[in-house]
A and B are shown apart, each in its own frame.
Chain A
Amino acid sequence: MSDVAIHVESLGKRYRIGGRARYLTMRDRLANVLKSPARWFHSNGAGNSDGGPRHIWALRNVSFDMHEGEVLGLIGRNGAGKTTLLKILSRVTQPTEGSAEIRGRVGSLLEVGTGFHPELTGRENTYLNGAILGMGKKEIERKFDDIVAFAEVADFIDTPLKHYSTGMQMRLAFAVAAHFEPQILLVDEVLAVGDLSFQKKCLAKMGEVAHAGRTIVFVTHQMNQIRRLCEKVIWMDGGTIRQAGPTNEVVGAYESEVLSGGSSQQSRENSPLIKAQFLRWEIVAPSASAPNLIDQQGPVAIRFTLDVKRPMPRAMHGISLYDADRRLVWGNGFRGLALDVGHHDFTHELRELPLKPGAYSWSVTLWDENDLVDTWDAVPELIVGTQPLTHWLDEWSGVLNIPSRLRVEQMQEEKP
């Protein structure tokens, strides 16, 4: 139905080792020539496309399509190629291979306050920064009052920027950026800085933009921002696309890997020496696209599989759930279990598990009377990918994802 706004085809970018090819002094260059004239000549020639040991591919074989009005999140570790991809799309740097087609007016926010000059006044910097971002003079004039009000710097607008506090400079920079409305917006982690209450304003503004039908590519490390703003996510890893798809799925997989330190082991090896052992776990209900993902509210059933090698007439079982910061979220214990030799399914049924989206981990134990038989920090992690229903700011959204309603009624004032 909607048109393709961004079409990326096997995009690749090669850098010299060290990330950025540092500028050289002529002396270095000359020294290199003297040391190995042949190689210097070769490396300056047109060929040499296969990289070799002196080059590194920051991005390779990246292809995807984005439709008009989509909001795409880019996630991944540092150095995964997110920023490189954004820089290529915003044309700051050229790809080494592949191509991209962008339809519409593109604006990029790789940084806020680009081009700010300390000697110029707030007003002058607003115009300058706006122009650098790609706004026309008339557009800036039209939005100027909004920008100043948004930044809360009206009293200082004709003061040189060098007399501003860092916070004020940031606010002005954000305000200009927030009023920048190209058809296609490329944003890099710019909301990660700045004071919290102002961040809230920016995020709200971003949300507005995102819901106004604009096409946005958004890089951040804050998964809740991604969940709130993006419908689709691309997970970058080592310069390539590791996984792409609906937000919950990809963010869940990403968080699970980050937490488990990269291991994607699904079950444990069976050891013959101990009396009993947990083998694996999965979510029985509700069913989702992954066995460790919860993506809807309501009842939850979780099943652990236990291999019992010797009968235990009076076993005890404990279960606890930790969040990403290793805080205990929930726990329970069950005594007096009679277990015979063989595989057992332990299914925990919870009426609901109203946790805010994120990654969590189970820890389960089995005791034979008072002796610990097995303890297992279950892998993979539990990923909660439900819609966030609480406060829009991370730091106020809490642990529980419980919807609530607010009713406001004015009280009848008693006449004296």
Chain B
Amino acid sequence: MAVPQTHVALAAAPNEFPSVHIAARRGWLALDLPELWAYRELLYFFIWRDIKVRYKQTAIGAAWAVLQPLMTMAVFSLFFGRLARISSQGLPYPIFYYCALLPWTYFQTATQSATNIVVEQQRVITKIYFPRVVLPISAVLSGLLDFAISFGVFLVMMVYYHIAPTRAVIWLPAFMLLAILTALGVGLWLSALNALYRDVRYVVPFLVQFWMFASPVVYPSSLVSEKWRWLYGLNPMAGVIEGFRWALTGHGQPPGILLAASSAAVVLLVFGGLVYYHAVEGTMADVV
């Protein structure tokens, strides 16, 4: 078919956006990975904006990333450690708590920003198309910078307390991935719910607080008897936190059964989150 010259010139750019079919969406899961890939630059810009804005608006910027877990660690060490004498698996209390607070602080901030991001970005959502799932993904990923900074502090602490990493440390990325996926799974659910019901944003702080006590942040998971371990592991953060302690210090047992249960729970959580998010996604611009 003969195509006029101008059109050839226009089509010269690699056609990343081929024919688009628009119709009422059917089906219950369509995580369109090729499309997500096509929008990777937008994802990058959303993360970049999140980080820029966060550090520009605050007076001490990146120091917040360090202060929050450090202060919490100090308080926990004093009250739960020195005073309540909770077992720390033979680790110094600051290390014991900071190990847990690293993934926990990340999870907490990532979940909260993912919950709010759909509502915060409603102007963009009502004006421009992009795969909506980019939003919670960007919220969850932009928390990683804070995590990296507070992780740097942890390295200093390890030197101070003369704790050398063992071979177990190679598992750390796996536990981090588990933490990211947990935050994403919860974020998918809560951000979609928040778009529909604004109550959600008030519920989240409570939820996170209860969740912390349901996770081995202030106590070791060995407090839970072996028989109920698998059930306890259904809280994915239990697997993540125990995993962090083990991978970073080499103390304690590799979280076998706990990790298996946590991984299974995360898969369900993320899968369910994608399905639910997808169901809300179609009308998100109309209801948010």
Contacts and interface: CB of A to CB of B under 8 A. Distances in A.
A111 B122 CA distance: 13
A20 B286 contact: yes
B288 interface: yes
B257 interface: no
A106 B17 contact: yes
Contacts, number: 145
Contacts of A214: 10
Contacts of B84: none
A213 B6 contact: yes
Given A94-B25, A105-B15, A25 B53 contact: no
A310 interface: no
Contact of B24 (A94, A114, A117, A183): A94
Contacts of A114: 123-124, 127-128
A212 B49 CA distance: 34
B83 interface: no
Interface residues of A, number: 57
Interface stretch (A130-138, A386-394, A396-404): A130-138
Interface residues of B, number: 50
A128 B10 CA distance: 24
A79 interface: no
B127 A110 contact: yes
B265 interface: no
Nearest to B126: A92
B4 A2 contact: yes
B167 interface: no
Contacts of A334: none
Nearest to A214: B10
Contacts of A331: none
Contacts of B53: 117, 119-120
Interface stretch (B158-166, B190-198, B244-252): B190-198
Contact of A99 (B22, B196, B282): B22
Contact of B11 (A25, A119, A120, A183): A183
B128 A87 contact: no
A31 interface: no
Interface string B11-30: 10101111111111100000
B228 interface: no
A88 B17 contact: no
Interface string A91-115: 1111111111111111010110011
Contacts of B57: 119
B260 interface: no
A131 B41 contact: yes
Contacts of A94: 22-25, 282-283
A134 B10 CA distance: 16
B120 to A, nearest CB: 11
A89 to B, nearest CB: 7
Interface in B1-60: 1-4, 6-7, 10-11, 13, 15-25, 41-42, 44-45, 48-49, 52-53, 56-57
Contact of B42 (A24, A108, A131): A131
Given A24-B197, A119-B57, A137-B41, A100 B7 contact: no
A98 B25 CA distance: 11
Given A92-B129, A120-B56, A137-B41, A23 B198 contact: yes
A88 B124 CA distance: 15
B195 A23 contact: yes
A323 interface: no
A127 B198 CA distance: 31
A247 interface: no
A132 B42 contact: yes
* 4 A-B pairs with the lowest CB-CB distances in the bound complex, closest first: A213-B6, A91-B129, A99-B23, A131-B45
22 contacts: A2-B7, A22-B287, A25-B197, A25-B199, A88-B22, A92-B285, A93-B283, A93-B286, A94-B23, A96-B24, A100-B23, A102-B19, A102-B20, A102-B22, A103-B19, A105-B15, A106-B20, A108-B128, A110-B127, A111-B127, A115-B49, A124-B49
